[in-house]
A and B are shown apart, each in its own frame.
Chain A
């Protein structure tokens, strides 16, 4: 049952990265592709009806982690106190920027919130990437299972490399999404940007994979076929973008990200917070879960709820899809 709980958490976080990932990515590419005030407005409006629902995946994942693995929730959140609060502030800033930009018809007002939108989103991706990097590498844990290292240890080269990879990969994801949602001359610029980001993503993917193998040591199992999926998705992304099959490109980009997160989850399993040095224990899904009765109850309510959420989210997204119109 702990394994199912692990899968549920991994699924929710993957959903968060795929969905809010394009919101963050749109913010990251906007300064590169949108040149006028109206284009920047279009860029922000492209995620307007979705970003809030997308962000709920993170909040709900936090709640689910609390219910399913209270020990890990407590140890991780208090151990990484400062970085986590900074993430919260950035999430707040991004939300404020999106909500407030449209309320005042002044270029200065717009420029300020556009800058906040960009900066908070890029920093968020970077921090999420650094966090994932540290989880893959393992973190120093004290005897009670609380983080025992220091803040600057979290900014190690490996974690920063994962962070940069995250920024570039989600920027591409955001660009692929933006093509689906906007019209006008900016679309051509976004298309060109996708083909330019693609080689950077490939190079960083190879670099991160090599670095991960170097950090964790090399060991093969059947699960190592995941990179094949990753590479196929990457190839499909380029193929669909060049041929103007925009939906296909978005699906390929989503598959690419999902395969990376699957890889990360498989690497970490069965640990939620692996210890440093790697493969020397940590907080595993078996230590962190509550009694079977509580776990069964939490799993039931969360899974049933998620099925309902997915059904109506898909229904609404279909109704709301398509290009937005920015009027004067």
Chain B
């Protein structure tokens, strides 16, 4: 196997598996904090809810931590040339993640799990908020690192090294902020659908009714808010940044092969890179021009305007993007429907909507992963957009055989981990908030 492919497969596999857990950490942490604070005010049901979600959170966090460790080190092991060239820039947000966010999460989660009888109640509630803050901060530094690889800023080139000139430029880049807010909103959709979905499961099983109604109510309201925010403004603005700095990625995302004025938006259709066209498309006329440039007559450049060697893998970018957008639309629909029933006070005895809430739980995870595939596969062939090719970033001393060996090892270990995680989480949900 080609060493670049082997390294990419290992990174893609380990990061995609790892990312399932931060989604829950980011999306669930506010709920843990909410119930912990309500419990501190003497609300007995909230105390049970807090203990329940903290247990789920802890299993998730543990798997997130163990699968996160390899991420911090793989830049050096598999991508040494990239790390040596750009470490002075991307090492900084990564170091900040460890020092500012990861310590905060880990130290205070220790309190949350083992300190209920040891620490004063104010410190206990503060710990829940600190874990929330830490998980959101952690996400920011990681997204800022990625955003720099998407749209490098605040650097200068000295010889064969990329040297940082301004850390604030890296951390305050609009590209990073819109991407981060989009990512957090996506995780919040996942977290709130988990809370609502678990509540719906209890209601359908006719158990824990009082607590379950609280889960469904708060879950649906938060899901509706973030299902909207994930599209507008964060998704929209994120798209604007891509349009501005990565027009080839935009063309691949939309399956637009030929440059055109009044470009249509493909709702479905299958890109064919042999004929450079979409198979069986359904178009909305002019909409892509409007979404990209705010004008129905604006010209949008297609893939054919660029040399093929600068194209990202078109099919994967296109499908991942359409899966994300399609699911995002469905989430908005389900959240709106559930919110209407909630408003009419009929949600808790409408099994059909409760079923929907329960079944939708895995899909925000798929949408989030698809979003990242769009972003990262769409960045190819660059590891740092416009500056360094992915193929030039690999470790010169690591052979493809080594990378394949460790990839197989990770696959085995993560299979075991995934199995244990699902088993233990479903077991906790089965036990319920007791």
Contacts and interface: CB of A to CB of B under 8 A. Distances in A.
A89 B167 CA distance: 33
Contacts of A55: 65, 69, 106
A53 B111 CA distance: 11
Contacts of B66: 91-92, 95-96
Contacts of B108: 316
B107 interface: yes
Contacts of B115: 49, 319-320
B84 A305 contact: no
A297 interface: yes
B359 interface: no
Interface stretch (B21-29, B91-99, B343-351): B91-99
A95 B66 CA distance: 6
A298 B104 CA distance: 19
B290 to A, nearest CB: 41
A56 B420 contact: no
Contacts of B274: none
B167 to A, nearest CB: 5
Please name the 9 residue pairs, one residue from A and one from B, whose CB atoms are nearest each other, closest first.
A70-B87, A77-B76, A67-B91, A290-B88, A60-B98, A49-B110, A305-B99, A78-B395, A78-B80
Nearest to B86: A70
B113 A48 contact: yes
Contacts of A89: 409, 413
A319 B123 contact: yes
Given A53-B110, A291-B164, A320-B118, A73 B91 contact: yes
Given A146-B396, A320-B114, A82 B164 contact: no
Contacts of B402: 81-82
B59 interface: yes
Residue in A52, A62, A64 with the greatest tally of chain B CB atoms within 10 Å: A52
Nearest to A99: B62
A100 B113 contact: no
Contacts of A68: 91, 95
Given A81-B395, A81-B402, A302-B95, A59 B78 contact: no
B81 interface: yes
A309 B336 CA distance: 43
A267 interface: no
12 contacts: A67-B92, A74-B84, A75-B84, A85-B77, A92-B69, A147-B397, A293-B163, A293-B164, A294-B164, A301-B100, A302-B96, A305-B100
A66 B114 contact: no
B148 interface: no
A293 B106 CA distance: 31
A67 B77 contact: no
B83 interface: yes
A52 B106 contact: yes
Contacts of A306: 99
Given A56-B102, A293-B164, A305 B69 contact: no
A63 interface: yes
B54 to A, nearest CB: 13
B106 to A, nearest CB: 4
* Residues of A contacting B: mostly: helix
B161 interface: yes
Which of B77, B114, B398 has the largest count of A CB atoms less than 10 A from its CB? B77
B358 to A, nearest CB: 24
Interface centre among B62, B103, B395, B424 (most CB of A within 10 A): B103
Interface string B46-69: 000000000000110010011111
B187 interface: no
A294 to B, nearest CB: 4
A301 B91 contact: no
A76 B115 CA distance: 39
B40 interface: no
B103 A313 contact: yes
Instruction: Kindly name the residue among A55, A78, A82 whose own CB sees the greatest number of chain B CB atoms within 10 A.
Output: A78
B365 to A, nearest CB: 21
Interface in A266-306: 290-291, 293-295, 297-298, 301-302, 305-306
Given A74-B76, A95-B66, A60 B102 contact: yes
Given A70-B91, A301-B95, A95 B84 contact: no
Interface string B236-270: 00000000000000000000000000000000000
Contacts of A53: 103, 106-107, 110
Contact of B87 (A52, A67, A100, A103): A67
Contact of B99 (A76, A77, A82, A302): A302
A75 B84 CA distance: 8
A50 interface: yes
B165 interface: yes
A144 interface: yes
A209 B114 CA distance: 41
